[in-house]
Structure 1
Amino acid sequence: MFRFTSPPLPHYITSGEDTYAAGGKHPDRSSIGVFDLLAVTRGALYLEEGGSPISVPAGHFAILRPDRSHKTAIPCKEETHFYWLHFHTLGSWSEVAEREPYMQLESFVFHVPRSGELHTRESFYERLQQLLELQSEVTAAARFRQQALLQELLLQLQEESSTAAKDPQLALADEAAAYLRRSYRKPLSYKELSEQLHFHANYIALCMKKAFGCTPLDYLTRYRIEQAKQLLIHTGEPIGKIAEETGFLTFPYFVRCFSKHTGTRPKEFRQRYR
């Protein structure tokens, strides 16, 4: 899957549709500089990217990297119709085997699978068709709508092909993280987390390490610090009260944790960013 760090969000460039007869081939291209999203509605594409085969049957999609060559591995065996969409990002991106560790809230990470089945394909095709219809319009509103449609397409791919939906450990990690975010203001223990989720605390920790690269306690501490940052910047509340509101038991402990994770003390952080 691909990991995109935002902002900035990936941006739409252009799109289209094509139909290959039996025996048709996708053009050979090398390092085209944009991501190439392919969604096949009938037939199948048989491609190769950087030496790795990629098959895209009807009702499936694939995203080709901007920095590798791709070509036809096998000509189409039947008439094949597909949509194509080029997008890119000015932010950082990478290909990862699984979801990355928790990130600070100033930026966020989302993951888009490289390929897979489209479970609600008609809505996906409808958005691609809307992009084509907007090509003929030259207004700023049309360009803005194209960018919005790209974000909707990427969100649909992330939600439909969620790794968590296929992996019970990642699903449990998501559930644990959601509970920690809801309850960060009060003291929390592994025992309470275990009772709420009905799993042993060690197993929950294992799942969160797999999903986020950290323990539940580390996740909770980082989330509390992010909430404290917002209060330091956007309110005039005393720092001691902010420590209490974000779930830190004592003021000295809050200062130690904040300094460790941000490299600055809470008072200095407030002075710098307000």
Structure 2
Amino acid sequence: MFQFISPPLPHFIYCGEDTYPAGGRHSDRSGIGVFDLLLVTRGCLYLAEESAALEIPAGSFALLRPDRAHRSTAPCREETHFYWAHFQTLGSWHETDRALTHAELRPDDELHEIHRFAYYLPRSGKLASPEAAYAWLRRLLSLQADTSSSSQWRQQLVFQELLLRLQEDTTMPERDSYLTIAEEAAAFLRRNYRDAFTYKSMSETLHFHANYVSLCMKRAFGYTPLQYLTRYRVEQAKRLLIDTNEPVGRIAEETGFGSFPYFVRCFARQVGTTPKSFRMRFRQG
């Protein structure tokens, strides 16, 4: 699978559709500089990327790298129709067989945390909802006929929906199931960060033993549930310190810290300064 780090999101460039007769072949190309997404509606394409063979039957897709050669390995045995879309990203990407942990994704901005996230697109697979995917491609084709800026904007939105469907139509490898539990635990903590935390309530909500949830979160994020919660609370406090005039003590209460001294200690340990000093840094000038 391919791992993309966002922002920025992959950028749609151009798309089209082709029909090959029986005996037709896909063209051979090398280093075209863009990702090539192929979705076959009928028939079958027989390709190879470098030495890796790809057979793409109807209702399936394949994603070819921008930096490798791909070639036809056999002619089509029947009339074959497919959609194709080219895209590229200014962000980082690489091929991987594992999911990136959230501990490896750091915020880019000290003031307002820009949430970087990783998402994954499989190299190939069977579409769970092929007609829906084809509909997005047809929509992209119709938008290409309009050269207005609003149409170009809509193209990007439609393309992101297509990529999201490809991701949802496929599943992560079974060995990454711990990520699901870690994500559910993290979502629970984010939803309830203002409330007093107990491992018992988390365990009862997630239907997993607290020790197992802790192991999953430690592996996925590098933090225990309590450490993750504390960091999240501090991030919410940073936002309130900048965006509101609430007293620091009130912010400590609103972000779930049980006492003011504890809030100050946690904040200073994570940010490197006191809440008051942090606020004044962005209020001067």
* TM-score computed with the length of structure 2 as normaliser: 0.83
Deviation at 1:207, TM superposition (A): 2.9
- Equivalent-residue separation in structure 2 for 1:75 and 1:148 (angstroms): 35
Tell me the distance in 1 between the aligned counterparts of 2:133 and 2:163.
10
Match of 1:91 in 2: 91
Q: Deviations over 1:77-125 (max 9, x none)?
A: 3322111111112222233323222244513314132222211111110
Residues 1-274 of structure 1 correspond to what in structure 2 (within 5 A)? 1-102=1-102, 103=105, 104=107, 105-114=113-122, 115-163=124-172, 168-273=177-282
1:121 aligned partner, one-letter code: P
Q: Which runs of 5+ in 2 are unaligned?
A: 108-112
Aligned to 1:163, what secondary structure does the other structure show?
Answer: coil
Partner amino acid, structure 2, of 1:57: P
**Residues 67/230 of structure 1: CA separation in 2 closer, same or farther (3 Å cut):** farther
Aligned pair in 2 of structure 1 residues 154, 271: CA closer, same or farther (>3 Å)? Answer: farther
C-alpha contact (below 8 Å) 1:15/1:85 kept by paired residues = yes
Q: CA deviation at 1:168?
A: 4.8
Provide the C-alpha distance between the structure 2 equivalents of 1:225 and 1:124, rounded to a whole number of angstroms. Answer: 41
The CA deviation at 1:20 is 2.1
Distance 1:180 1:13, change over 3 A: same
- Aligned CA distance change for structure 1 residues 197 and 55 (closer, same or farther; 3 Å): same
One-letter amino acid of the counterpart of residue 134, structure 2: Y
Q: Secondary structure at the match of 1:146?
A: helix
Contact 1:100 1:212 in 2 (8 A): no
Please say if residues 101 and 214 of structure 1, whose CA atoms lie closer than 8 Å, have aligned partners that are also in contact.
no
Structure 1 residue 129 displacement after superposition? 0.8
2:98 and 2:176 in contact (8 A); partners too: no
Q: 1:78 to 1:167 in 2, by over 3 A?
A: farther
Change over 3 Å in CA distance of 1:270–1:143 after alignment to 2: same
Q: CA deviation at 1:246?
A: 1.6
Distance 1:259 1:199, change over 3 A: same
**Contact 2:37 / 2:63 at 8 angstroms: preserved in 1?**
yes
Secondary structure of the structure 1 residue equivalent to 2:151: helix
Aligned-partner SS, 1:99: coil
* TM score, norm. by length of structure 1: 0.86
One-letter amino acid matched to 1:266: P
Q: Structure 1 counterpart of 2:121, which letter?
A: P
Aligned length: 274
Deviations 1:128-181 (A, max 9, x none): 011112222222222121111111111222233243999654433332222111
Q: Which piece of structure 1 moves more, 209-218 or 152-161? A: 209-218
Letter in 1 for 2:130: R
Give the 3 Å change call, closer, same or farther, for CA 31–260 of structure 1 in structure 2: farther
Distance 1:238 1:86, change over 3 A: same
Higher alpha-carbon deviation: 238-247 or 146-155: 238-247
Distance 1:73 1:230, change over 3 A: farther
Q: CA RMSD in A?
A: 2.6
Partners in 2 of 1:203 and 1:34 — Cα distance? 42
Change (3 A) 1:168 1:107: closer
Indicate the residue corresponding to 2:110 in structure 1.
none
In structure 2, C-alpha distance between the alignment counterparts of 1:118 and 1:56, rounded to whole Å? 11
